[in-house]
Structure 1
Amino acid sequence: MPKVLFVDDEEFILEGVRRNLRKMRDDWIFFYALSAEDAVEIIEKEGDVGFCVTDIRMPVFDGFRLLSYLEKKHPEITPFVLSGQCDDLARAEFQKRNVMFFEKPFPAEDLTAAIEMKLMEQMV
């Protein structure tokens, strides 16, 4: 069962994600982190997280730093960005890193379809 980690420093965003993805709870295992530091702890503890969906603008340890951490330490984790504040420079950086970007508020169907597509690619 795929493990998906959501990272956002705003609790109400994570609650919205929980509600929007409720229909997937029998197919995926979800983790939620209120900071990138908490996300790293979950990743290290779980060991086999497949996907990380992160906000970019977070205090101290931001989403860009988390993406760099994933690239260096856990390239097996597929990253996604879910952010409401993103400029063209940041979007260009995501494209360069081959990271899919979703705007808040996000369409849950688009995100689930993207994760399912990546799962199918991994099976091939």
Structure 2
Amino acid sequence: MERVLIADDHPLVRDGLRTVISVAFDQCELFEASSIAEAIAIVEREGDFDLVLLDLNMPDAEGFSGLAQMRDRFPSVPVVIVSGACEGGLISASIANGAAGFIPKSLKRSAIVAAIQSILAGDIFMPEEFRTIGADNVELDDIRRRVDTLTPQQRVVLGLVVGGKLNKQIAYELDVSMTTVKAHVSAILAKLNVYSRTQAVILANKINFVPAPLAARH
């Protein structure tokens, strides 16, 4: 492994990952970014990277939009989510959105190194304890019931949110105002009984949410 980009808005986290990688991978060139925009600029300027370690919650990203931007711009660069949150739904949603793996920040240093080695070998890494976790049927039925309360337009918006679209991108695609999009997102969060776009994406992915058909967008 020759080049790694650590993208996290917390300096202490970047320092910790830098220490782990520099000790385990001799001669590895490390780069750091504190935002998605900075991460994109670095990859564009420096060229190919062996790995990008990306925090899910970045200041200029919502939900999986940061991951989506990195995957769209640099499809050949493995992007690994490194997160303090460690829910089964979040992990599976990250993989579904194109992450090459999911490494919890709570892992021991040796486990982080082993995870990186596994990813470099071509595997999609996730913590072993989450590989066989299945959501309870009662929970899934409850999520489906909540999703069924959404209007056709709200289902369209939720589908775009799941796809990593930002509010301004949704407004452009649906040819509506930002105010309208924000109103839809707020209503979706209320109906799903969640507090963030990321939580909404997690619930949607748990039930393999299918967006409303294109006709509903007009």
Separation in 2, partners of 1:84, 1:9? 13
Query: So what's the TM-score if we normalise by structure 2?
Result: 0.49
RMSD: 2.4
What does residue 109 of structure 1 align with? 110
Separation in 2, partners of 1:12, 1:30? 15
What does residue 61 of structure 1 align with? 61
Larger RCO (CA within 8 A; separation ≥ 6)? 1
Deviations 1:78-105 (A, max 9, x none): 1111111244432221232353111123
Please state how far the C-alpha of 1:6 moved relative to its aligned partner. Answer: 0.7
Cα gap change, 1:99 to 1:120, in 2 (>3 Å): closer
Deviations 1:1-23 (A, max 9, x none): 52111111111111111222331
What does residue 52 of structure 2 align with? 52
Please state how far the C-alpha of 1:63 moved relative to its aligned partner. Answer: 7.0
Q: Relative to total residues, which structure has the larger helix share, 1 or 2?
A: 2
Deviations 1:90-124 (A, max 9, x none): 22212323531111233332333333334344xxx
Deviations 1:48-105 (A, max 9, x none): 1121111111222257222112221211111111111244432221232353111123
Separation in 1, partners of 2:62, 2:43? 16
Unaligned runs of 5+ in 2: 123-218
Q: Check conservation: 1:5, 1:53, Cα contact below 8 A.
A: yes
Is the deviation greater in 75-84 or in 60-69?
60-69
What does residue 14 of structure 2 align with? 14
Q: Relative to total residues, which structure has the larger strand share, 1 or 2?
A: 1
What does residue 2 of structure 2 align with? 2
Unaligned runs of 5+ in 1: none
Is the deviation greater in 11-20 or in 104-113?
104-113
Query: So what's the TM-score if we normalise by structure 1?
Result: 0.81
Runs of 4+, deviation exceeding 4 Å: none
